[in-house]
Chain A
Amino acid sequence: MNPLQFDYSAILKLALPETILVLGAILVLFIDLTVMRGRDAADRSSVLALVSAIVSIIGIFVFQFLPKTGSVLDGMLVLSPTTVLVKQCILVFAALTALISWRVRFTEHIGEYFALILFATTGMLFLSSAQHLLMLFVSLELTSLSLYVLVAFNKESRASAEAALKYFLFGGVAAAFTLFGLSLIYGIAGSLNLETIAMNLSGKEPDLIFYVAVVMALIGFGFKIAVAPFHLWAPDAYQGAPTPAAAFIATGSKVASFYILLQVLYVGFGEFAGDAGGGHFESGWQPVLAIFATLSMVIGNLVALAQTSVKRLLAYSAIAHGGYALVAVMANSVDGTAAVVYYSVTYGLATLGAFAVVGVVEDQCGDDSMTSLAGLKERSPVLALCLMVFILSAAGIPPLAGFFGKFYAFTAGVKSGSPDLGLIWIVAIGLLMSAVSFYYYLQVLKQAMVLPSAKNAPAIHANPVVLLVIVLVAISVILLGCFPTLLLPDTGVAVGVLSSG
């Protein structure tokens, strides 16, 4: 097929949600400049948050009317039921991010702020359905550039500017690595389409250049999913960025990046996984991921022990969680896909909720230190209870979603990553480190649930919309934990389609 022959109606049909988002972003800018012009920033932000959320939710429902499978433009946009599920989850995170930005105070440029959230979301949507290296890189950049600006959005805060610069510089270097890696892959395989690459490479003995290419691409992805040793930007970005922006980086962007990592590795290089199992080592991408995962689990959890800022703590915990999820990526199987999707989505929900709670507290206490949470139970029982749900889910306590996510990720990794329980060693490290992690998670909960509030600590009043979002997210974390099949059956079916087609 000549890739230059466009069937616009087919493209538009599959890319309808993305189109709606872009139109929505323009609509947001339009409203900000016309109808709401001259209004107070807080009023503008509540209207625009609502518009952005509605646009995202329309996007979610539009998928109901689209075909669940399809492919256009030589793999630039490939849909499968799993991809649709991932896209819908990203849209949910976009809607939640917009809603927790209700009545934001850190900026006057409300229109641009929400438009950027929608643009970043568009990038993530395209990213998750890309099976074409060019499309992959373009959408990765669309996501990243929007996020860099979002991190810098609080212009009055030096931390925000510093975080954005750090994020941008690291991101730029990582993008260069990715691009270089991808260009080498194109040179070796002679195609940009992942399936064609897999076909062309099939049966060949991988050479040094191939490994260099794969490792370089992995470094770029490693940056996006914030795993050690490419995690250095994360703590600063999480702490300095405006809370909703940090939450979006930790959730939507993570889900999309993990998913595309899976696509590239499973679809493009499934044959070259290698084996990191004890006793039968074989070079490939799995040992590389094993190194990333081990470092992330160890560094993330140990450094988190020393944090006093809750946001930084969440950042290091996110690094550790990136490591747990990589264990599932190493499975290179149907279970691996399902586990990664479930893990990244449920972890995202808990993180978004935790960020929202910390954001509310920070707004009213002025900082995000652990001690500002003291006595939260008395100052706002509902927030405290929700925070407990989020933190316990992140810690992996059943019956919350985080537990099943971790369990499934580890089980998938051991089951299909390597024969004879070869990968049990990395699960052992993961479980040992997660036992360590309870210490810092309990420190947060100790402040919130056990200690009395400091004298003259203000009562916390969350904005009703934000509170509603937090409560809804907490309920969904509990529900998804008790009934994991709510998120699983689609992925199970989907992967079957993916591997047979």
Chain B
Amino acid sequence: MLTWTIYISFLGMALLMCLPKERPQLARRVALLTASLGLVVALIGASAFKPDGGIQTLVDYSWIPTLGIQYNLSVDGISLSMVMLTAIIAFVGVLFSWNIETRTKEFFAYYFALIGGCYGVFLSFDLFLLFVFYEIAIVPKYFLIASWGSTNREYGAMKLAIYSFAGSALVLLGIIAAYVASGANSFSLVELAQHSFSEGQQAWMFPLVFVGFGVLAGMWPFHTWAPTGHVAAPTAASMLLAGVVMKLGAYSCLRVAMTLFPLGLQMWSPYLGALAVTGIVYGALVALTQKDFKFVIGYSSVSHMGFVLLGLLSLSQIGLNGAVLQMFSHGIIAGLLFAVVGRMIYDRTHTRVLNDLQLMQLRKTLPFAAIVFVIAGFASMGMPGFSGFVAEIQILIGAWHGFSAYAILAGIGVVIGVAYTLRVVQKAFYPDKTEISRAELKPMELEPITIQEKVGAVILLACTVVIGLFPGVLLDWIIPAFESPLFDELRKGVGQ
């Protein structure tokens, strides 16, 4: 059933390409239908999912027998969480793209090509297939940003594309090396994970694949595509980019690099962990100084993705749980923040400069945006009750077991996170009255928030609150997933 999330997206893409270009409204409806079908299929698949069963194969047939490549789509609790995230963000992203007027059908066609690729990565249990979908997901991003973006869009799009492709070149090198070294004529993730690569091989294959995927996860110092890309992208694309695409990288780090090369993971985790912590603190500090509203969110994404990587590298079960939970949580929260900044504010005011926004009294003109952003801000800074808290606290506990210094530094990162979030909340929505003279104020007549935006924002808020209050919903899927044979080798090196 879940495989249909992929097919529906690509069918939707094909259908959108065939629509007449004079009818944007039709394109929007088709897009909404495609996204809702994807969401419905994901929900049905999730309800049919039995978390105790480990990996459940959905489809598996021989694709290219010469090289032992299987068309193997399967699902475990981790991929199911990611599929749900993709489905939710895809659906909400369409709602927040309702105002795209130029070349609407093309926009949504690229959009669903990207979504289809993301679903594919999360469901692939064959390494070759996973890489195929991974690459499929990269290409449409370039066109989405270069064609429909804003500030510096061609630069941002090209930078993102080149970084992504350079990352995937590293990954491909690692994949070829692992395939040949295993000598098994198979790309099955489970089979490769059960093959013991020699320590010498793992020592260089692990960083290749981990860093290669890590580029897309916004790993410091290869993160620089992320802020420029996010800022240049149109709203729905930044939601997808921060919400789902960065998770492709982190998810593949876990799914491929860590399961195939567990010894390499142990060798490299202190060093890569240092990079992750640097990302957390650096991202947060840079976010603190930005003048552009969207750059703040962009750097906050780098910081939050640093938590995911730290959790993955913490070599502890609780850290891994937290990392997967953080992927979901950050996907939802970042999507929401970008929606507020990109769609609700920028599309109306045509500026993202904080000092200009300060004068517009957005709290009064766009009260809904203000409320949503404040709540999302709380979620983002890790306030208990929201999903960010349960995720980050587990990561910090996990990191404490392995690398207590990193945990302390990451904790400082959380504090800076509070600072920059409060700073933008204050600047954008609650300016200090004493600093601004009345004459400077320029309240604007802004188009009211549309029903689509309200629905989208409420869905995302609901998700973060539900997961914050009942993290078990996801953890019941995630924790048993680590019991599957895929993680056999990894578990040996992981503490509680």
Contact = CB atoms under 8 A, between A and B. Distances in A.
Contact of A449 (B67, B143, B162, B177): B143
Given A338-B66, A411-B67, A485-B65, A398 B135 contact: yes
B142 interface: yes
Interface residues of B, number: 31
Interface string B163-207: 001101110110011011100000000000000000000000000
A318 B495 CA distance: 52
A397 B139 contact: yes
A442 B147 contact: no
B169 A488 contact: no
A475 to B, nearest CB: 13
A287 interface: no
Most buried by A among B67, B177, B179, B181: B67
A309 B172 CA distance: 31
B185 to A, nearest CB: 9
Contacts of A209: none
A442 B158 contact: yes
Interface in B128-162: 128, 131-132, 135-136, 139, 142-143, 146-147, 154, 158, 161-162
B64 interface: yes
B66 A492 contact: yes
Interface stretch (A101-109, A420-428, A464-472): A420-428
A415 interface: yes
A492 B166 CA distance: 32
Given A410-B176, A428-B173, A431-B173, A398 B131 contact: yes
B139 A424 contact: no
A392 interface: yes
A392 B147 CA distance: 17
A484 interface: yes
A403 B132 contact: yes
Contact of A398 (B65, B132, B146, B154): B132
A439 interface: yes
Interface string B258-300: 0000000000000000000000000000000000000000000
A432 interface: yes
Contacts of A397: 135-136, 139
Contacts of B181: 421
A434 B173 CA distance: 12
Given A392-B139, A449-B147, A421 B158 contact: no
A224 B147 CA distance: 40
Contacts of B162: 435, 438-439
Contacts of A398: 131-132, 135-136
B169 A424 contact: no
Contacts of B168: 435
B132 A399 contact: yes
B292 to A, nearest CB: 23
A424 B177 contact: yes
Contacts of B180: 411, 414-415, 421
Contacts of A488: 64, 66
Question: Which of A404, A434, A450 has its CB near the most chain B CB atoms (within 10 A)?
Answer: A450
7 nearest CB pairs, A to B: A398-B132, A431-B169, A435-B169, A435-B166, A450-B146, A438-B165, A435-B165
Interface of B: 17, 64-67, 128, 131-132, 135-136, 139, 142-143, 146-147, 154, 158, 161-162, 165-166, 168-170, 172-173, 176-177, 179-181
Given A398-B131, A484-B64, 5 more contacts: A392-B139, A398-B135, A410-B172, A428-B173, A449-B143
Interface of A: 335, 338, 385, 392, 397-399, 403-404, 407-408, 410-411, 414-415, 421, 424, 427-428, 431-432, 434-435, 438-439, 442, 445-446, 449-450, 484-485, 488-489, 492
